[in-house]
Structure 1
Amino acid sequence: MRRVTILDDYQRVALSSADWSAVAERFELEVIDEHLGADALAERLAHSEVVVVMRERTAFPAELFPRLPELKLLVTTGMMNAVIDLGAAAAHGVTVSGARGGGNSVPELTLGMMIALTRHFAEEDASIRAGGWQHTIGPGLQGKTLGVLGLGRLGGPVADLARAFGMHVIAWDRSITRERAAQHGATLVHKRELFEESDLLTIHLPLTESSRGLVGARELAVMKPTAYLINTSRGPIVDESALLAALAERRIAGAALDVYETEPLPRDHPLRSAPNTLLLPHLGYVTTDQYAHFYADVVEDIVAWDDGSPVRLL
């Protein structure tokens, strides 16, 4: 029977997040809940006609497509995916479609991470479970300066939420005007000022050639020793080696990360033992609401493609 394979269903919720009956009538459904390396991936997908990927958890580079002779449709959640080689897909006759999300859960996660990091939620939770009581102290957000690196679809709402907490918001973005920044109550500043003046600095840029490594040793060096860095965007925007050095030498107060250069984060990665960090496993888009929207669209895309109807092409 023809096969649809759903990749990287870490929480084992793909099939319960949408009604797959229309797909199940036509295809065998296979769900993989672990992240696979290139060789294992090619082996497992050798007989799959349709593959569903969750955002950018699994890359589909050019060299993978020749190893997938049965693949005809690749569906990704989200309407863009930087780790799929679209040219190679087209060259091998593979249609690539996308699935729309619902809502915007990153801003609320960002503010939650700020509070959890500065008020040491993880440490205090571990302490109280071990029989302890108050042993840390951290700043409140009111009156602090939040620097927003990238004031677009995600950064703008973060600025709005931050103002509700009584924060002063500054921002740097190559494509945003002072008037557009003012709509979010933010003051547009130069890039160096953003790093120098922020008490907390949050990143909300897409990963491009110009943003890769944008936050490096030079930028971290001008941050306040009491400042915190939050990244819920893409790992490679921050130079991990420079960040590890800044944390080890206590040149910044801490970092909250939801994204990494390599995902899943390797078991022996030094960030796992870095001081003053809050580490989350790329949860920015991981909500029941978002998954319901994603997988409902995935089902529609598969059925439409199989019927010869238009699909949401990337």
Structure 2
Amino acid sequence: MPMLNCAVLDDYQGVARDLADWPRLGPGVEVSFLSGHFGSQDALVDAVGHCEIVVAMRERTPFPAELFARLPRLRLLITSGMRNAAIDLAAAARHGVTVCGTASSPEPPAELTWALILGLARHLVTENNALRAGGPWQQTLGTDLHGRRLGLLGLGKIGRQMARIGGAFGMEVAAWSSNLTPERAAESGAIALGSKEELLESSDFVSVHLVLGPRTRGLIGEAELRRMRPTAYLVNTSRAAIVDQDALLRALREGWIAGAGADVFETEPLAPADPLRSAPNFLGLPHLGYVTRRNYEGYFGQAVEDIEAYLAGDPVRVLG
């Protein structure tokens, strides 16, 4: 059997090699680990055009239809998680590419969302920078969580985690999504609101936990941001396109809201000159929501399992 080539993409931290038992695949699979992000499709094709197997990390590298046409040797594509909007599954099928996924834990993204909420509410970056620079001692006034309303746009796996933690902080938790029922909301200790407008107008912290799709793209635009309280905060750790980025920038610059936090951006890595980098009252992170040791061990460990199953003729966790 000829040697098979496998490329693990976007290994930014250089940890993928050590977090799974890749040698278990045997001498017939040559695995390479690519730590740099490919800024163009041409560069990606040059790097992995010889590979039969590619392991992708979330949506860091898109796989549109035209890319599959340029990768004729590709036979197995693995993504972390069981959903990846950046992969054209229909095109993969047309080109004979099997697409498999892995498990993904909802706890790490929820934990990071709370880091953003707390960082905004207590001005942690401002205070830490002042402390390091020998600046003023105590210069901000924090916002309480206890007794305030947490508004959740979406009450899926991560949203439910958010609701339980919000309750532990003593917050009133409200939620909205197009199909949310009062009974399902109550199971997580939340109250279901009748509209996103009601949620935006009444919440002190709004956190986005919806799946990106035709109904949710641009769901939060200028009109919605203007409905929020000027003392309220918006946090998005779901997908950037759910919130109109231009409207968000205006809201921050003109003070429609008190501040915003985000772990997701429409173009990643974020361009050095992107205006969000210098927006007032904005706390941004480089898409760290799922980036924890336990999650990565699950991703890469199950990627090895996916490859083994595919080579045995019985692929598992197949998408599409």
TM-score band, normalised by the shorter chain? over 0.9
Distance 1:222 1:168 in 2: 19
- TM-score normalised by L of structure 2: 0.95
Distance 1:102 1:112 in 2: 17
The answer to whether residue 239 in structure 2 is matched with residue 234 in structure 1 is: yes
Distance 2:305 2:134 in 1: 51
- Equivalent residue for 1:157, pick from 158, 161, 180: 161
3-state SS of 1:15 partner: helix
Between 1:194-203 and 1:115-124, the stretch displaced more is 115-124
Structure 1's consecutive aligned runs of 4 or more residues displaced over 6 angstroms after TM superposition are none
Identity of aligned residues (%): 53
- Equivalent residue for 1:100, pick from 100, 103, 111: 103
Partner of 2:24: 22
Q: For 1:75-114, what aligned pairs fall within 5 Å after superposition?
A: 75-102=78-105, 104-114=107-117
Cα deviation, residue 191, structure 1: 1.6
- Equivalent residue for 1:138, pick from 135, 142, 147: 142
3-state SS of 2:250 partner: helix
Partner of 1:273: 278
Between 1:26-35 and 1:59-68, the stretch displaced more is 26-35
Cα deviation, residue 69, structure 1: 2.0
State the one-letter code of the partner of 1:8.
Answer: D
State the one-letter code of the partner of 1:150.
Answer: G
Partner of 2:73: 70
Distance 1:19 1:71 in 2: 22
Q: For 1:1-314, what aligned pairs fall within 5 Å after superposition?
A: 1-36=3-38, 37-102=40-105, 104-132=107-135, 133-189=137-193, 190-314=195-319
In the superposition, relative to structure 1, how do residues 198 and 102 fare at CA in structure 2: closer, same or farther (>3 Å)?
Answer: closer
3-state SS of 1:275 partner: coil
The question of whether the paired residues in 2 share the 8 Å contact of 1:110 and 1:232 is answered with yes
3-state SS of 2:150 partner: strand
1:214-251 alpha-carbon deviations (Å, 9 max, x no partner) = 00001001111100000011100000000000000011
3-state SS of 2:7 partner: strand
Distance 2:140 2:110 in 1: 26
The question of whether the paired residues in 2 share the 8 Å contact of 1:103 and 1:290 is answered with no
Distance 1:8 1:270 in 2: 25
3-state SS of 2:231 partner: coil
- TM-score normalised by L of structure 1: 0.97
Cα deviation, residue 2, structure 1: 2.5
Distance 2:28 2:125 in 1: 46
Distance 2:92 2:108 in 1: 30
Distance 1:76 1:152 in 2: 21
Distance 2:217 2:88 in 1: 18
State the one-letter code of the partner of 1:38.
Answer: Q
The question of whether the paired residues in 1 share the 8 Å contact of 2:106 and 2:161 is answered with no
Cα deviation, residue 156, structure 1: 1.4
3-state SS of 2:295 partner: helix
- Extract unaligned runs of 5+ from structure 1: none
- Extract unaligned runs of 5+ from structure 2: none
Distance 2:255 2:271 in 1: 24
Distance 2:260 2:249 in 1: 10
Between 1:253-262 and 1:24-33, the stretch displaced more is 24-33
Distance 2:103 2:156 in 1: 18
The question of whether the paired residues in 2 share the 8 Å contact of 1:221 and 1:251 is answered with yes
3-state SS of 1:137 partner: coil
1:176-215 alpha-carbon deviations (Å, 9 max, x no partner) = 1111111222121122111111111001100010000000
In the superposition, relative to structure 1, how do residues 156 and 209 fare at CA in structure 2: closer, same or farther (>3 Å)?
Answer: same
Cα deviation, residue 103, structure 1: 5.4
